[in-house]
């Protein structure tokens, strides 16, 4: 079944217009940028690290010195790109593309500290209209980003457009918890602990309330896999992790 393309867009639990959603999402990330990395570790109890490692392993960049170009969309402060560079060989290069200048600035400063200037680039751009030519990347990743993009189908079509034939699409996103008991604990934690933690660390509980609500409005794993197929990708695969708290969706441009 193909996921019905509805015009409904949500900001958390609120139904909004797609252009209004992007403005609200941008406010969220501008507000949390400076403390984003710290909050990621706190909120996920460090689990975002093994989840991102699984994403990098799925992309499996070459260990040799052959050229390999990664595009990491909604790449924020550069976490996935830094891990990919560490895993790949001398020919691996990464471009972080994000719509939010504050998140990118934190990423640039991290890259400079790590000596990765010129190895990881930071480009401001919208996932729905990427500022790159057709067929220009070997892999496209998006981690905890796609649910923030107002028109997911437009974002997926752009992913397909910029990938070279033979290129890999890999998306890491919060998903649907499918372990009885864990769902209740997860709900309690998400709706109570996370906004409180957000208030304590960033002074902004509302942004974290949005992040939690947006997870619940995201399509279920098979529905999202159908959207990926509808964008043209083949051999689409879903791999739930940690009882479905997150899932890796992948596909190939053939
Ligand atoms: C939760 S953060 C994820 C950052 C990073 N990928 C990570 O895993 O640490 C979501 C990112 O999506 C970005 N974003 C939201 N809408 C976007 C869009 N339409 N195009 C590109 N980036 C977008 C935000 O600015 C933010 O940096």
Find the residues whose C-beta lies inside 6 A of ligand 1.
22, 25, 29, 40, 73-76, 79-80, 98-100, 103, 126-128, 143-145, 148-149
Q: What is the pTM of this model?
A: 0.93
Q: Which residue has the higher pLDDT, 249 or 118?
A: 249
Res. 5: pLDDT tops 50: no
220 CA from centroid of ligand 1 (Å): 20
Give the tens place of pLDDT for each residue, 90-119. Answer: 999 999 999 999 999 999 999 999 999 999
| Of the ranges 179-183, 188-192, 242-246, the best mean pLDDT one | 242-246
Which residue has its alpha carbon closest to ligand 1 atom 6? 75
Residue 55 and residue 124 in contact, taking contact as beta carbons nearer than 8 Å: no
Which residue has its alpha carbon closest to ligand 1 atom 8? 143
Give the tens place of pLDDT for each residue, 28-84. Answer: 899 889 888 888 898 889 999 999 999 999 999 999 999 999 999 999 999 999 999
Residue 142 and residue 159 in contact, taking contact as beta carbons nearer than 8 Å: yes
Taking residues 218-241, report their average pLDDT: 97
Res. 27: pLDDT tops 80: yes
Res. 180: pLDDT tops 70: yes
pLDDT band at 25 (very low <50, low <70, confident <90, very high): confident
The reported pLDDT for the residue numbered 2 is 39
Res. 6: pLDDT tops 70: no
**Hey, which of 98, 140, 174, 202 would you mutate to test ligand 1's pocket, going by the most ligand atoms within 8 Å of its Cβ?**
98
- The whole-angstrom separation of Cα 151 and Cα 98 is 15
Max intra-chain CA distance, the chain: 48
Give the tens place of pLDDT for each residue, 150-164. Answer: 999 999 999 999 999
- The whole-angstrom separation of Cα 245 and Cα 242 is 6
Q: Which residue has the higher pLDDT, 213 or 106?
A: 106
Neighbours of 29 (CB within 10 A): 21
Which residue has its alpha carbon closest to ligand 1 atom 4? 76
Tokens of 56: 């990098």
Q: What proportion of the chain, given as a percentage, has pLDDT over 90?
A: 67
- Helix or strand run (H / E) with residue 172: strand 163-174
The reported pLDDT for the residue numbered 1 is 38
48 CA from centroid of ligand 1 (Å): 15
């Amino acid at each position: 079944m193909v996921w019905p393309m509805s015009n409904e867009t949500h900001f958390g639990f609120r139904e909004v217009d797609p252009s209004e959603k992007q403005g609200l999402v941008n406010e969220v990330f501008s507000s949390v940028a400076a403390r984003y990395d710290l909050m990621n570790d706190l909120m996920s109890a460090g689990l975002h690290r093994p989840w991102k490692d699984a994403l990098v392993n799925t992309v499996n960049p070459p260990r040799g010195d052959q050229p390999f170009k990664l595009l990491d969309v909604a790449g924020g402060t550069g976490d996935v790109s830094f891990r990919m560079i560490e895993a790949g060989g001398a020919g691996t290069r990464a471009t972080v593309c994000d719509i939010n200048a504050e998140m990118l600035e934190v990423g640039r400063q991290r890259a400079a500290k790590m000596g990765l200037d010129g190895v990881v680039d930071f480009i401001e751009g919208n996932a729905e209209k990427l500022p790159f030519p057709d067929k220009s990347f070997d892999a496209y990743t998006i981690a905890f980003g796609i649910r923030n993009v107002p028109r997911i189908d437009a974002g997926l079509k752009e992913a397909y457009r910029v990938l070279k034939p033979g290129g890999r699409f890999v998306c890491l996103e919060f998903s649907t918890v499918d372990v009885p008991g864990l769902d209740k604990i997860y709900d309690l934690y998400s709706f109570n602990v996370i906004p409180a933690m957000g208030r304590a660390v960033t002074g902004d509980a509302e942004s974290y309330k949005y992040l939690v609500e947006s997870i619940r409005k995201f399509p279920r794993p098979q529905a999202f896999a159908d959207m990926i197929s509808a964008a043209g990708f083949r051999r689409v695969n879903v791999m739930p992790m940690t009882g479905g708290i997150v899932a890796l969706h992948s596909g190939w441009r053939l």
